[in-house]
Structures are given as C-alpha cells and as structure tokens.
Amino acid sequence: MTRKTILTLLLACLILPVAQAAQPIKTLLITGQDGSHYWRGASQGIEKILENSGLFEVDILVTPDFGEDINRFEPDFKGYSLVIINYGGATWKPSVRRAFEKYVSDGGGVVVLHSSIIPMEDWPAYNEMTALGAWNGRDERWGPYVYWTEGGRYIYDYTPGYAGYHGLQHETVVDTRAPGHPIMQGLPPRWKHFKDEIYTKLRGPGRNMEILATIEEQGRHEPVMWTVGYGKGRVFVDVLGHCGNDPELTYSILCTGYQVTLLRGAEWAATGTVTQPAPKDFPLEDTFTLRPEFKAPFHAY
C-alpha cells in the first residue's frame, strides 16, 4: 500500500461518517419581537447549538420589529421539517395562522421556547399547540393551571386567577417525569440547571400534553418541558432558557442540560425519534455543567 493510498483511506474514514449521515433537518427559526428578552442573542445561540450538532440546518427569519406592520410577515413553511418559535410579539395575521395550523396538523415539527408561550393569546390554535401559556391577560378563561404531583398525576386546577409568574433567577434542580420518552431516555432522573428564570402558574387548554420535566417552585412541581400533539404534528415546549435584555445575559442557554434537551426535543419534534445518545457531560443532581461554545466537548459521547 502506497503512502498515497493510506492517506486516501484515512481521509475516506474521516469523511465517510459525515457523508453517510442523514440530511440535516431543515429548520426555520422565527424571532424578532420580544419586549423582555435579548431575542437576537438567544436566537444566535440556539442556531449554534442546533447547527454545531450536525443534525440541523437553520434559517433564521426575523419578523417586522415592534411598531412595524406585522402583516408584512409572510413565512413559507414549505420545505421545513421543524419550526422553532423564539418570539414574544404581535399575533400573526389570519393567513399566516392558517398556514401554520396546516403545517402542524399535516405533521410538521415545532419547538416553542421560553417567552414564546406568552404571545398570540388571541389565537386559539396556538394555545392548543402550546397547551399552556402565561401573561398577556390569560386567566381561567384559557383553561386550568396544570402541574405535576407525586405518583405521576397531573393536577388540573380550575381556580380563577391570572396566568404566569416568576421570581428571581436561580440555579435549580430539574426532575425528569417521563423517563421513557425519547427526549428524556437515558438522562438522569434529577439534574442541576444553571441560573435561569422559572415560569410558574401556567394555564391553558392542557390537552394532548405529556409533561417531561418539572421544577419545584413554591411547593408545586411546575412543568418546564412538555410535548403536545396537534393533528399529525409534534410540539416540544421548553420554557427554560431566559436571555435577559443585555447581550451578556445568555448564561441559561450555556447549560449542558438545556442544550442537550433542546437538541433532543428538536429532533423528536421533527422526526418522532431521538438518535442522540446521552452525553457524558450531562449535569448531575449536585453539579451543573456548561457548554460555552454551544457545542459538545470532544469526549462528550
């Protein structure tokens, strides 16, 4: 074997795994209005998390800004297997709503992030897709408070009252509540999440939802990640990942637990399965870990 042949073989070994991998999942990330978050930094971080995994190819679509005409927003969902919503602004116009409802009910995948459960309270199908929402005037008319209780039961609390509350940001422990779900399979039952803003008192229709993970706040196990079925479509909602109004304030999405569950939730929403093994750098109950480069370290798998 000549040196050239050996070199060619070596190169083939290096290139083949990439060439043989499935096509990246075509992803549309919608962002552009959010009064209380640094949506640009969060969206860029999310794009890096997804693309660095090699599993996703992301197009970012920025809506008109606050005060501009939202009716100019005309996304084309065709050709995408996944739509990620990182958006806290004005409700989309009726034709866009109808196109999105069709995209999801025909089997499209959706990921809804953090403050994206706040907007579009006047759009019933969006409330169904997210299952739970917060703020923007939501109250008992939108549905019950939903939380988890010991024994795996869901509590549907119809007490009248506002939806949405959060206290100061803090480090916290996340409890896995659906260990058999593809998104959670193989991950620790409890893991530490880096400093974040924890939403509580969420309420909404709460239909076709499965709670994947909770955080204990004020004595209640509040859902922080869940799935929703809408027609043939799959929705993954993750309300962790607060990014403040300052470009420096994106620390919550540096958490390895956040990044790994986002990648798994995104793959599941798009395909119905998760091919990613549980990584070695996943946080434990008493130790958080970070991925500051928005990618897995060399020996993570």
Decide if 223 contacts 158 (C-beta within 8 A): no
Question: How distant, in Å, are the alpha carbons of 167, 183, 185 from that of 148?
Answer: 19, 18, 19
CA 153 to chain centre: 23
* Beta strand 25-34 pairing with 56-62: parallel
Query: Nearer to Zn ion by C-beta: 134 or 183?
Result: 134
Query: Cβ neighbours of residue 5 under 8 Å, at least 6 residues apart?
Result: none
Which region among 118-126, 181-189, 216-224, 239-247 touches Zn ion (by CB under 5 A)? Answer: 239-247
What is the separation, in whole angstroms, between the first and last Cα of the chain? Answer: 33
* φ and ψ at residue 300, rounded to 5 degrees: -70, -25
Residue 234 or 242: the one with the smaller Cβ distance to Zn ion is 242
Residues touching Zn ion: how many (CB under 5 A)? 2
CB of 37 to Zn ion, least distance (A): 6
Interacting residues of 255 by C-beta distance below 8 A, sequence separation 6+: 193, 194, 196, 240, 283, 288, 289, 290, 291
Collect all residues with Cβ–Cβ distance below 8 Å to 264 and sequence separation of at least 6.
182, 183, 184, 274, 276
User: Between 116 and 276, whose beta carbon lies closer to Zn ion?
Assistant: 116
Q: How far is the CB of 159 from Zn ion (least distance, A)?
A: 25
Closest approach of Zn ion to the CB of residue 195, in Å:
12
Q: Residue 197 or residue 217: which is nearer to Zn ion going by CB?
A: 197
CB atoms within 10 A of CB 27: 25
Minimum Å gap between C-beta 167 and Zn ion is 12
- Tell me whether residue 253 or residue 274 sits nearer to Zn ion (CB atom): 253
Shortest reach from residue 175's CB to Zn ion, in Å: 21
Among 193, 242, 264, 291, binds Zn ion (CB under 5 A): 242
Which among 9-17, 197-205, 214-222, 229-237 is the span making contact with Zn ion, rule CB under 5 A?
197-205
Structure token pair of residue 291: 């991925």
Instruction: List the x/- string, 263-282, binding to Zn ion by CB under 5 A.
Output: --------------------
Shortest distance in whole angstroms from residue 293 CB to Zn ion: 23
Asked whether 16 and 9 are in contact (CB, 8 A), the reply is no
Residue 169 beta carbon to Zn ion: minimum distance, rounded to whole angstroms: 9
Nearest CB to Zn ion, comparing residues 75 and 244: 244
State the Cα–Cα distance between residues 206 and 292, nearest whole angstrom: 34
- DSSP H helices in 53-188: 94-105, 124-130
Q: How far is the CB of 301 from Zn ion (least distance, A)?
A: 31
- Residue pair 26/103 in contact (Cβ under 8 Å)? The answer is no
Cα torsion angle, 6, 10, 11, 13, sign: positive
Phi-psi region of 206 (alpha: psi -120 to 50; beta: other; left: phi over 0): left
> Residue of minimal CB distance from Zn ion?
242
Contact map string, positions 138 to 167, toward Zn ion, x by CB under 5 A: ------------------------------
Per CB under 5 A, the list member of 47, 197, 222, 238 interacting with Zn ion is 197
The nearer residue to Zn ion, 198 or 211, going by C-beta atoms, is 198
Nearer to Zn ion, 203 or 242 (CB): 242
Q: Which residues sit at the interface with Zn ion, rule CB under 5 A?
A: 197, 242
